[in-house]
Amino acid sequence: MSGLGRHTALAPASGSRDDPWRASSPPIYQTATFEQESAAGFGEFDYARSGNPTRETLERHCARLEGAHSAFAFASGVAAITAVARLVRTGERIVAHTGLYGGTQRLLSRLAEERGVEVVWTDLVDGDPARALRGARLVLVESLTNPLWRAPDLCALVAACEMSGAWLAVDATATSPWLQKPIELGADLVIHSATKLLSGHADLTAGIVAARDATLAERLAFIQNSEGAVLGPFDSWLLLRGMRTLGVRLDRQQQTASALAQWLAARADIVRVHHPSLPTHADFARHAAQARGPGVVVSFETGDEARSLALVERLERFAIAVSFGSVDSTASVPCRMSHASVPASLRHVAMPPRDLVRLSIGLEDFADLSEDLAAALGCCDAKQDGVSRICAHGRPQ
Ligand SMILES: Cc1ncc(COP(=O)(O)O)c(C=O)c1O
């Protein structure tokens, strides 16, 4: 990738090496099997779980973008995290940040512990990493934690992991390779819920794991093929198409997100705004030093849960939806939605404020989004009754 401009580098190698028609869009190899020349030996592809040219085009593209040895595409972000957790054997230890995505907390605290992997939850943003990582085989953090967008000090974690002989895995869903490349900062593994920024259109679920070296890559290839949670050819193609516009989407979306964060922070009826573009954010300087931008999601507290619920329901330009990173703006109340899956044992440390509203900013104009927010905020004071669609229909993601 060296020498290419950043937008140019987002173009995957087009077509297949052997495509006689030289299609400018990569062909979708919608097939389960590949005919072999003989029964005595396999060609490059034989069965689509083990390998498919469309998925391979995506995986090579992701590896190139991350500066990784190899990348692997899974059916969801959670499947990607499951594969990384599988690298840790029974009796070994994972040290995980307390503020991870609720589904990751559920996965580690239930499924990993059930197979005899010890999981130690600790604050890896404000805590002392060197002390926390003793005995760890794998350390798991997010590049920006969801939904308060705290940033762990990745260089300090890299140094601490080197000392303790642990792999550092960074779930970089909230930043994407457009804003940060953890492997270039020294991490061993990068994970993405490609459902979000990478695909950008909320039209598929997918996960990516990129590995720094051949040894990790070999183990991940074995896990991916053995457990079989692979990304299908059509979704691989959709993801390749979405990634082509990652740079233009993110640049515009985070510009609008930063303007809205500022606009919200200036209002007297908002208690606190969480976005790394704001100098008041706890990790403003740290994040700016290790990433190229603050991301597209803004969270804020209204001071009252019922007010937050009523506010979200009044918004017209923001669909009430879990997930984030799409070209269309969405709003959620994390406590009731994305974080409903945080296990009971971690709720006292890992739950966001109950009145927190999360806005994922899309491609719409700032004026339309701020006007919509102003109208909803104007309608919702603390006396609003909080009976809501979210309460009635919410379920853990
Ligand atoms: C930071 C982070 N990692 C992983 C996931 C899981 O990804 P998926 O929903 O694609 O399985 C999510 C989902 O919200 C997330 O926010």
Residue of 78, 140, 142, 322 to test ligand 1 pocket, by largest number of atoms within 8 Å of CB: 78
Of the pLDDT bands very low, low, confident and very high (cuts 50, 70, 90), residue 39 is confident
Question: Does the pLDDT at position 393 exceed 60?
Answer: no
Average pLDDT over residues 96-107: 91
Q: Of the listed 29, 55, 93, 101, which one is catalytic? A: 101
Q: Which residues have any ligand 1 atom within 6 Å of their CB?
A: 76-78, 101, 103-104, 142, 146, 171, 173, 193, 195, 205, 207, 323, 338
Of the pLDDT bands very low, low, confident and very high (cuts 50, 70, 90), residue 392 is very low
- Please report which helix (H) or strand (E) contains residue 49, including its range: none
**pLDDT for position 94:** 96
Of the pLDDT bands very low, low, confident and very high (cuts 50, 70, 90), residue 349 is confident
Is residue 181 part of the annotated active site? The answer reads no
Of the pLDDT bands very low, low, confident and very high (cuts 50, 70, 90), residue 40 is confident
Lowest mean pLDDT among 18-27, 85-94, 329-338, 362-371: 18-27
Ligand 1 mean position to 384 CA, how many Å? 32
Pairing of strands 118-122, 330-332: unpaired
- The number of angstroms, rounded, from the C-alpha of 274 to the middle of its chain's C-alpha atoms is 18
Ligand 1 mean position to 78 CA, how many Å? 6
Q: CA nearest 305: which of 393, 380, 395, 392? A: 380
Of the pLDDT bands very low, low, confident and very high (cuts 50, 70, 90), residue 390 is very low
Average pLDDT over residues 285-297: 98
Both structure tokens of 246: 């990652």
- CA pair distance 204, 192, nearest whole angstrom: 13
- The number of angstroms, rounded, from the C-alpha of 255 to the middle of its chain's C-alpha atoms is 19
Determine how many CB atoms are found less than 10 A away from the CB of residue 178.
24
More confident residue, 184 or 37: 184
State the closest ligand 1 atom to the C-alpha of 194, by its place in the atom list counted from 1: 10
Average pLDDT over residues 240-263: 98
Ligand 1 mean position to 18 CA, how many Å? 35
Report H helices in the chain.
53-66, 77-86, 102-106, 113-114, 129-132, 154-164, 176-179, 214-227, 233-244, 246-265, 284-290, 305-314, 347-350, 366-379, 389-393
Q: Which residue has the tokens 């890559």?
A: 217
Residue 177, classed as helix, strand or coil, is: helix
Ligand 1 mean position to 244 CA, how many Å? 21
Average pLDDT, the chain: 91
pTM of the predicted structure, to 2 decimals: 0.93
Is residue 49 part of the annotated active site? The answer reads yes
**pLDDT for position 15:** 59
Q: CA nearest 277: which of 127, 144, 140? A: 144
CATH code given to domain 246-393 = 3.90.1150.10
Question: Does the pLDDT at position 1 exceed 80?
Answer: no
Ligand 1 mean position to 194 CA, how many Å? 8
Domain boundaries, the chain: 8-244, 246-393
Of the pLDDT bands very low, low, confident and very high (cuts 50, 70, 90), residue 111 is confident
Residue of 141, 195, 204 to test ligand 1 pocket, by largest number of atoms within 8 Å of CB: 195
Q: DSSP letters of 67-106? A: T-SEEEEESSHHHHHHHHHHTSPTT-EEEEETTS-HHHHH
Cross-strand pairs, 170: 141, 190
Report, in this order, helix, strand and coil percent for the chain, each rounded to 5: 35, 15, 50
Question: Does the pLDDT at position 397 exceed 70?
Answer: no
- CA pair distance 279, 300, nearest whole angstrom: 15
Average pLDDT over residues 52-61: 96
HEC profile for 11-38? CCCCCCCCCCCCCCCCCCCCCCECCCCE
Is residue 101 part of the annotated active site? The answer reads yes
Is residue 383 part of the annotated active site? The answer reads no
Q: CA nearest 170: which of 154, 148, 147? A: 154
Determine how many CB atoms are found less than 10 A away from the CB of residue 344.
7
Ligand 1 mean position to 287 CA, how many Å? 21
Structural domain 8-244, CATH architecture: 3-Layer(aba) Sandwich (3.40)
Question: Does the pLDDT at position 385 exceed 90?
Answer: no
Lowest mean pLDDT among 3-7, 168-172, 220-224: 3-7
Question: Does the pLDDT at position 386 exceed 80?
Answer: no
Residue of 101, 170, 176, 330 to test ligand 1 pocket, by largest number of atoms within 8 Å of CB: 101
